[in-house]
Structures are given as C-alpha cells and as structure tokens.
Amino acid sequence: MNILVTGGAGYIGSHTCVALLEAGHSVIVVDNLNNSNLETLEKIKQLTNKDLIFYQMDATNEVAIDKVFSNHEIHGVIHFAGYKAVGESVAKPLAYYQNNLVSTMVLAGACQKYGVHRFVFSSSATVYGDNQVPFIETMNLQPTTNPYGETKAMSEKILTDTSKANPKFSIALLRYFNPVGAHESGLIGEAPNGIPNNLMPFVTQVAKGKREKLYVFGYDYPTVDGTGVRDYIHVMDLAEGHVAALENLTEGVHIYNLGSGKGTSVFELIRAFEEAIGITIPYEIVDRRPGDIAASYADVCKAKRELGWEVKRDIKAMCRDAWNFEENYVEVVESK
Ligand code: NAD
Ligand code: WQD
C-alpha cells in the first residue's frame, strides 16, 4: 500500500516508516520539521535501503494537503503530526488546539474527498485520565487535566463522527502508553530539545553525564514501591503495531491500546537500566509532579486478538536501545 505518514520525521513516525518500508509498503512523509530534521529521513533510507517521498509541509494547510492527495494514489494515512508536550499545552492552549485538531480535520477531509478510507490516528493513554488500572478500551474516559489530552480525546470524537457519516471509513484510534527506546541500530531515536520531560530520556542523559541526577517525582503513591507506575513500550514494537493496525483494519472505528500490559515503577526502571547498561543512576526523591497519576498500564487483549500484535521487546531491550541511541546521537552532534 502507499501510505501517507504525517509527522514521519518525528520519534514514533520515523520508526513506523522503517517498519512500513520493511513490510513492503511505500511511504509518503508530510512533516513541517517543527520537531524533527531531514537527517532522520536519510537514516530511514539508510536503514531500510529503500526510498521514500517527502513533502516539507504543514498538515494544517488544506491546499497543500490536497495537492499531495491529488499527486499520489494513497491507500491509507497514519496521522502522527502534532504537538505533544503536556506542560507546554497548558501555557499555549490555542497552539495545541489549532495544530492537533485542524491537522486531523484537514486530513480526514482529504481522505473523504479522495476516497481514502484507511486512517490510523495517534491517540494516547492520557485520555483514560485517572481510571482504575488496567485501562481497557471500553472504559468511560476521565476528563484530562491539560489541553494536550483534550486534543486527543477531541480528535477521537471527530474521527468517530466522521466514520458514522461515512461508513466506508476504517479508522484505528491507537492509544499509546509510554513509548521509549530506539531502533536497535542506534541511528534513529528520541532526541528531546532542552530538559527532557519524560523519564527514559532523563535517565539516559544522567547516565551520559549530561545531567547530575534524576529527580524522582513522588515516593508516596499507592504503588509497589511508592513511585509512579507506567506501561513502557519499545518504540519498534509500537511501530509494528501501526503496520498491524493498517493491515488488519475493517470498516468502522476501532480503538486499540498499544502497550506491554505490564506496569513498571520508576525505581524498577532505574534498576532495569542499571542492570542492562552497568551504569549507576544517582537520584533524589522530590515532590510529586502536578497532574501525574499513580499508575497507568494497558489491557492489551484486544490488539492481540484482533490485530495479532503484541510486544516482543522487554524493559531491558528498551533501556539498551535508548542508551545506544543516546551514545550515537551525541557523537553525531559533536562531530558537526
Ligand atoms: P514528535 O514530536 O517526535 O513527532 C511529531 C512530528 O510531527 C514531528 O516530526 C513534527 O515536526 C511534526 N509536526 C508537528 N506538527 C506538524 C504539522 N502541523 N504539520 C506537519 N508536521 C508536523 O512526537 P512523537 O513522540 O513521535 O509523537 C507522534 C504522535 O504520537 C503525536 O501525535 C503524539 O501526540 C502522539 N503520542 C506520543 C506519545 C509519546 O510519548 N511520544 C504518547 C502518546 C501519543
Ligand atoms: C513516567 C513516570 C513520572 C520524569 C507523558 C505524558 C503522556 C504521554 C507520555 C503523550 C511518572 C516519573 C518522570 C522525571 C520522574 N505523552 N518521572 N522523573 O507522565 O506517564 O506520560 O508522556 O501522549 O501524555 O503525560 O511519562 O515519562 O513523563 O513519566 O520521576 O524526571 O516517571 O512521575 O511516574 P507520563 P513520563
């Protein structure tokens, strides 16, 4: 199939391009490079030994997106493009609603116009809010505490209503848990700007000596050891989940949790990293981070049953590959 991948130069998008190309699909990337760079696209080609088509354009630009659809016979869309920083979304709500909602509407509109019915959307476990774990797709969603989460819940609604009006659509709403790690080559991975918000990139930067110590946010949660519990998923497993969704989609809207189904605490992740890499991670316990919940992990039965997909890589592989990328990435930057 010819797949349009918005945000294909980004963290999850780039790994998914690799998985798509390896599965024999053709890829057309639309990315405005707002949070990514051209070098990543070259690395995707290098890794797969395959070419892809790239448009540097904004997914909210209806005219530009229309041109892409008229230039190519597109069989499916995977829509990753968007802003994703929870804290920033509180400070800049309009930018988040504009970018994340308008891009979804523009792409769904183009699909409708050109008869492209396969649509895979990047949603997030954040839509579950502070529910009872494990989170299951049939749960009533809890209000999210930030505009970013709202854009995900609203995009799900927009796509669900679009499907009701156009029953030929086959839509997958993929709720990602906590994507971490990198391609095992170390060539592509996650390179956050500035101080990382997320745990794994912070840990790898401490291991590298870029940061003195990790701050553990809260030690009094009702969890196995008092620290926050999350469902970490290797980004290549997540990427392969997109290929499975695309290839197994049927008409209607289908919601899938993409996670490992296992909860890992902050202390457990630190220990796993230390064991996998052999470097000690100094840490200090500080107050809870506002907006954090105690535990989040997925019920993953539906994706296994309907998509034939489940994770293959464990927490050790996630730590190893995250670290491998951190080392490689620094070399690239320093050699410039
Ligand atoms: P990312 O920032 O690395 O990738 C997003 C890509 O989209 C970037 O390359 C950016 O340049 C591009 N982009 C942003 N706005 C655009 C626009 N208007 N037009 C064209 N390109 C645009 O983020 P990621 O971690 O790869 O996340 C991908 C998607 O998955 C996002 O929608 C995010 O909300 C969602 N998601 C991410 C996580 C996570 O923890 N990383 C978890 C759940 C859901
Ligand atoms: C994991 C655990 C922290 C950093 C966020 C978004 C979510 C999704 C994924 C997009 C928590 C603790 C963290 C640190 C710490 N993104 N922690 N010290 O908060 O589950 O999810 O990213 O959709 O929407 O909210 O992930 O990696 O930030 O935190 O102790 O320096 O690590 O408190 O328990 P989170 P995270």
Please report the pLDDT score of residue 267 as a whole number: 98
Between the CA of 184 and the centroid of ligand 1 the distance, in Å, is 21
DSSP string, 220-267: -SSSSSSS-EE-EEEHHHHHHHHHHHHHH--SEEEEEEES-S--EEHH
pLDDT per residue as tens digits for the range 210-238? 999 999 999 999 999 999 999 999 999 99
For residue 332, the model assigns a pLDDT of 47
CA dihedral sign of residues 188, 269, 198, 240 = positive
- Say how many Å lie between the CA of residue 195 and the centre of ligand 2: 13
Low-confidence ranges of the chain (pLDDT < 50): 331-336
312 falls within a domain = no
pLDDT of residue 144: 81
Q: Is the minimum distance from the CB of 148 to ligand 1 under 6 angstroms? A: no
Ligand 1 contact, 147 CB (< 6 A): no
Question: How many domains would you assign to the chain?
Answer: 1
Task: Output the CA 225–ligand 1 centroid distance in Å.
Answer: 32
**Structural domain includes residue 295:** no
For residues 317 and 332, what is the distance between their CA atoms, to the nearest angstrom?
22
Residue 8 lies in a domain: yes
The whole-number pLDDT of residue 334 equals 42
Annotated active-site residue in 96, 148, 232, 297: 148
Question: Is residue 181 lining ligand 1, measured as CB closer than 6 Å?
Answer: no
Q: How far is the C-alpha of 29 from the C-alpha of 112, rounded, in Å?
A: 19
Q: Percent of the chain having pLDDT more than 70?
A: 98
Classify residue 303: in a domain, yes or no.
Answer: no
Q: Which of 11, 30, 199, 233 gets mutated to test ligand 1 (max ligand atoms within 8 A of its CB)?
A: 11
Q: Which residues contact 270 (CB under 8 A, 6 or more apart)?
A: 203, 214, 281, 283
User: What is the Å distance from ligand 1's center to 234 Cα?
Assistant: 16
| Position 94 in a domain | yes
Residue 171 lies in a domain: yes
Q: According to the model, what pLDDT value does residue 38 have?
A: 97
pLDDT score of 293: 96
**Which pTM was predicted?**
0.98
Position 69 in a domain = yes
Q: Which ligand is nearest to the CA of 202?
A: 2
Tell whether ligand 1 has an atom less than 6 A from the beta carbon of residue 241: no
Report the complex ipTM: 0.99
Buried b (16+ CB within 10 A) or exposed e, 36-69: beeebbebbeebbebebebbebbbbeeebbeebb
For atom 32 of ligand 2, which residue has the closest CA? Answer: 199
Residue 247, in any domain of the structure: yes
Any idea what DSSP says for residue 197?
A: S
Alpha carbons 48 and 22: distance in angstroms, whole number:
7
Residue 84 Cβ contacting ligand 1 at under 6 Å: yes
pLDDT at 191: 87
Is the beta carbon of 216 within 6 A of some atom in ligand 2? yes
CA 283 – ligand 1 centroid, Å: 29
Which CATH number covers residue 6? 3.40.50.720
To the query of whether residue 148 is one of the catalytic residues in this protein, the response is yes
Domain that holds residue 106: 2-182+233-259
Residue nearest to atom 41 of ligand 1 (CA): 179
CA 233–ligand 2 middle distance (angstroms): 13
Pocket test for ligand 1, best of 56, 84, 86, 233 (most atoms within 8 A of CB): 84
